Structure 1
């Protein structure tokens, strides 16, 4: 039996400029506070590559910074040929992200890696997805962070038995 196992997580939303880079930043903070940085690594990607090479949406960065999260990741598109092999869990933000990821899965093992972010919520169980805040107002960005904080805590609890 191995003493320590590492887990690799990939957070995925549509464009990789609001929800998934925020999930990456929130999860990294949760991991760091729990002293698990050597056991869990995170990245993020988008279903589409329209924003590839860009920083996170400036509005999302402002809201995240108010909660001491630094969105430093650079947008990239999900790469099924390598990402399914590189990551243990591929975490979609909404039902369409999940469908898109499932359509790119190469086999049953890939499908088993795909999960939805809100499945890990405990306080916000009534939310079935992390809604895209891109076309909404400030409250949407705050809601995304509320949901991600809840889900990231739940995800860490889920992983604790596996690392």
Structure 2
């Protein structure tokens, strides 16, 4: 998503962060196999793993889960139900794929990572379009 935000020249207007629902991998860089799959598409993955925290509900306008299990885990942290309208599945924004849960590629081969990158690119393109329209943000660069 950050790659597309930068391409559109919207890094001053859109903040995108990533967090897992589990505490394993905290502080770790992106998986090497995912980094390779992304780099083959000209995308450089940055950052380190962190865990989703309750204050994230206030910090972000949208909270996107990769699958229904993570969606449930996130909503469980919203004890009052105040933020449910902010939480959605990432693939709700996909336009070319029908899959709604991002599959876990970690126990398969490189094809799983390629499939996930393709699925997430589709979803991120739709998400960027949604955010630009919802918040009336004109692209300053190339939008793909």
TM-score for the superposition, normalised by structure 1: 0.79
Q: CA deviation at 1:61?
A: 0.9
Distance of 1:107 and 1:66 partners within structure 2: 43
User: What per-residue deviation string (whole Å, max 9, x for no partner) do you get for residues 64-91 of structure 1?
Assistant: 11112111110111111x1111111110
Partner of 1:116: 89
SS of residue in 2 equivalent to 1:108: coil
Give unpaired runs (5+ residues) of structure 2. 136-144
Counterpart check, 1:106 vs 2:79: yes
Counterpart check, 1:57 vs 2:31: yes
Counterpart check, 1:90 vs 2:63: yes
User: What per-residue deviation string (whole Å, max 9, x for no partner) do you get for residues 78-127 of structure 1?
Assistant: 111x1111111110000101011111113333111101011001111x21
Alignment of 1:1-163 (within 5 A): 27-80=1-54, 82-124=55-97, 126-163=98-135
Aligned length: 135
Instruction: Answer with 34-43 or 87-96: which moved more.
Output: 34-43
Distance of 1:146 and 1:104 partners within structure 2: 30
Which aligned runs of 4 or more in structure 1 are off by greater than 2 angstroms?
A: 106-109
SS of residue in 1 equivalent to 2:16: strand
Distance of 2:111 and 2:58 partners within structure 1: 36
Q: CA deviation at 1:161?
A: 1.9
- Aligned-residue CA RMSD (Å): 1.1
The structure whose residues are more often strand, as a share, is: 1
SS of residue in 2 equivalent to 1:115: strand
Give unpaired runs (5+ residues) of structure 1. 1-26
